[in-house]
Structure 1
């Protein structure tokens, strides 16, 4: 399973490029910070090929964290943890042979304007929930914090507080080396961190900071998430109109048979809700098995000019990084603004 992480800096053109990448490349999950916002809502992502998990921002500001998952039957939004700066979903992945495996994927934006040191209370609660339930957890963070441990050139108080927390809950940092994830004319920093709990670390590979141009100061991070057993391909689809609903009702009745637990506490209610949601999804999948899908989606934001712009803008960035001259950085910044 291919995962990508990127901070889109609320940029429309960058969202177009990212949407194009999702449609063309075999990316299963995209963890996004600062998505492009239009009228208070996340925009620029093609929801025909996947599901978007995020919270509507306060006062129409829009969310600063989102998760985009390909395949509409895979994601369960964890509403109790979602906020403007955090989006979380439980992904149900089918094994090829038998059973399913649950994983929680989260996008977190740790604002540098926050009075309290990172992490946020919402992220702390999510990490605790996954630890209590024994769930695998992947977190994509824009930490806005500096610590030499993850490749920064220096350390600040936010970075120290965050590192102490990560160590206390056994969250591992996936970054390798000191490849910068944020590049401008004045600084090159590592502030974008993918994290995972310790039980998942051995299943993650191919971490990399991509060099492809994104029209952003932030770079795209990618990595692969394997499973102990093979997973069902994500290139599939189901047509609800072709579902045999009588079979669906029979399957659902079989899964829900037996007495309901006494709803004596919030945790019991939560468990029953998850059981009901899982039963509905499993009954539907049994009534109409998935079929292979050929992705012919077109990205509405993509056009020829953006395609031509990528190589030329990348050349300007390479020249600026090589010479570090103000004139070269100004030329690169002007090229960015032209398409933003």
Structure 2
């Protein structure tokens, strides 16, 4: 059995604002990642179903989902949760509090990515609102730490730049989080991407043999050579000689098979993106460029340029989605448990 090795899981926290374009941006990022988790709030929904993603774990309720990662080498189980806190409800949501209580009671670590809709100086705001004060008071009753650093806004519109998207983690797993930052990549949502890495131990997949790949000619040639060394069965005088020859025959067959079908290691292959092309890449870069300019100048004309660039990008994505089938329906499933 292969021993676990240190590795990094890339984590992206994103509020998609129910946008098809923002979903396409996220999907493009996921398709080139080999070990990644996305904590999503407000996914793109049409006809009562989540669209644009191939899978999403569903935990507990409409506004909360989670997965559990087993880490025996680190002697911990890590729950990662994506939570949306509706403005009409006082934070924290009931299901979030229940999840946090469960993790504390069972000794499980937890990482939470949330759109809190709350303002407070603790996470970089100049002022606070009632929601922020209530959430602030709640956090001090838990073992959760705030991972946010700096004062870079996570929610950006023409009239407002605020910090409402938070990353929370229990004490032990917080030490495994590195590189937390608000991404400058255009998310095509009012909410900007949050990215960070989680240091974990991953069980490497050992090399395996695939019988279907056996070279039969090599097997036959190798085994024939070995069998030529067997003695004449009519000359065997006792059971000991027979047992020796049977053992030789068995080992010869095994050795021949292993020669004709060598072990192969698991190969990571890049994600397939048949729906992505040069035009989409050009428009994506234009959206990012105009967004950065609008955030820096706060000028109405620059926000209009950003809106127009995003609109053109959205139309292009819709065209490619229809032509190449980029959009797919999500099937919901219970909490996933992944073994590291």
State TM-score, norm by structure 1: 0.69
Q: Which segments of structure 1 move beyond 4 Å, counting only runs of 4 or more?
A: 235-239
Equivalent residue, structure 2, for 1:307: 281
The correspondence of residues 66-81 of structure 1 with structure 2, limited to 5 A, is 79=59
In the TM superposition, residue 94 of structure 1 has moved relative to its aligned partner by 5.9
Aligned residues: 256
Find the counterpart in structure 2 of residue 92 from structure 1: 70
| Deviation by residue 1:125-162 (Cα, 9 ceiling, x = unmatched) | 00000001000101000000000110123200000000
CA 1:100/1:170 → structure 2, altered by over 3 Å: closer, same or farther? closer
SS in 2 for 1:19: helix
Deviations 1:75-101 (A, max 9, x none): xxxx5xx10011122222464xxx874
In structure 2, distance between residues paired with 1:204 and 1:331: 36
**Alignment partners' CA distance in 2, 1:238 and 1:137:** 34
3-state SS in 2 of match to 1:9: coil
The equivalent of 2:179 in structure 1 is 206
Cα 1:167/1:100, change in 2 over 3 Å: closer
Could you give the per-residue CA deviations for residues 249-306 of structure 1, whole angstroms, max 9, x where no partner exists? xxxxxxxxxxxxxxxxxxxxxxxxxxxxxxxxxxxxxxxx996242343246534332
1:5 paired residue number: 13
The reply on whether 1:23 has 2:31 as its aligned counterpart is yes
1:1-340 to 2 correspondence within 5 Å? Answer: 1-47=9-55, 52-54=56-58, 79=59, 82-93=60-71, 95=73, 101-114=76-89, 117-227=90-200, 230-232=201-203, 292-299=266-273, 302-340=276-314
Q: Which structure's relative contact order is higher, taking Cα pairs within 8 Å and 6+ residues apart?
A: 2
**Unaligned stretches of 5+ residues in structure 1:** 55-78, 243-288
CA–CA distance in structure 1, aligned partners of residues 208 and 71 of structure 2: 16
Q: Secondary structure of 2:141's partner?
A: helix
Q: Tell me, in whole angstroms, the C-alpha distance in 1 between the residues paired with 2:128 and 2:206.
A: 46
Structure 2 CA distance for partners of 1:183 and 1:160, relative to 1, 3 Å = same
Contact 1:138 1:196 in 2 (8 A): yes
User: What whole-Å deviation, never above 9, does each CA across 1:197-222 have from its counterpart, x for those lacking one?
Assistant: 12222121111111011212211111
In structure 2, relative to structure 1, the CA distance for the partners of 1:94 and 1:198 (3 Å cut) is closer
Q: Is the 8 A contact 2:208 2:265 kept in 1?
A: yes
CA pair 297-318 structure 1, distance change in 2 beyond 3 A: closer
The Cα of 1:22 is off from its aligned counterpart by 0.9
Shift in alpha-carbon separation, 1:214–1:27, aligned structure 2, 3 A: farther
What's the offset of the Cα at 1:27? 4.6
Does the CA-based 8 Å contact 1:94-1:231 persist in structure 2? Answer: no
The answer to whether the Cα contact below 8 Å between 1:16 and 1:299 also exists between their aligned partners in 2 is no
Which has more radius of gyration? Answer: 2
1:102 deviates by 1.8
CA contact (8 A) 2:32 2:270 kept: no
Shift of 1:46: 3.8
Q: Which range moves more in the overlay, 14-23 or 99-108?
A: 99-108
In 2, Cα distance between the equivalents of 1:330 and 1:140? 30
Alpha carbons of structure 1 residues 192 and 290: separation in structure 2 relative to 1, 3 Å: farther
